[in-house]
Amino acid sequence: MIETDSETTHLDLTGLKCPLPALRTRKALRRISPGQVLVVTCTDPMAVIDIPHLVRDMGDILVGQERGPDNLIFTIRRSLTIPGTVAENTRSTPH
């Protein structure tokens, strides 16, 4: 379920198992505007690994990660640069 206010989109992925939380997070990130925030709530323990890797690979920012008693909550800010663009390609990477 997706709920949106002016700057934040909430994505409830409770009950979904790997790889669905990462795939749906990717789809939601592609739909929001640069600078907007996506808050993902899920219960899949593999999301602790999958979602941070996804965020890094997409060039977005993991603002926060919380572990509740029954869920995981990720707060992600959509990057202002789009991966694969000239601005993205000018970042230096260690070799």
Instruction: Show me where the domains of the chain are located.
Output: 2-83
CA 19 from centroid of its chain's CA atoms: 14
Q: What is the CATH number of domain 2-83?
A: 3.30.110.40
pLDDT digit string (tens) for 38-59? 999 999 999 999 999 999 999 9
Nearest C-alpha neighbor of 71 from the set 10, 9, 27: 10
Q: Is the pLDDT of residue 90 over 90?
A: no
pTM over 0.85: no
| Catalytic residue set | 18
pLDDT band at 84 (very low <50, low <70, confident <90, very high): low
Give the pLDDT score at 1.
61
1 against 20, higher pLDDT: 20
- Amino acid (1-letter code) at residue 88: E
pLDDT digits (tens, 9 = 90+) for 11-26: 999 999 999 999 999 9
Encoded amino acid at 37, one letter: V
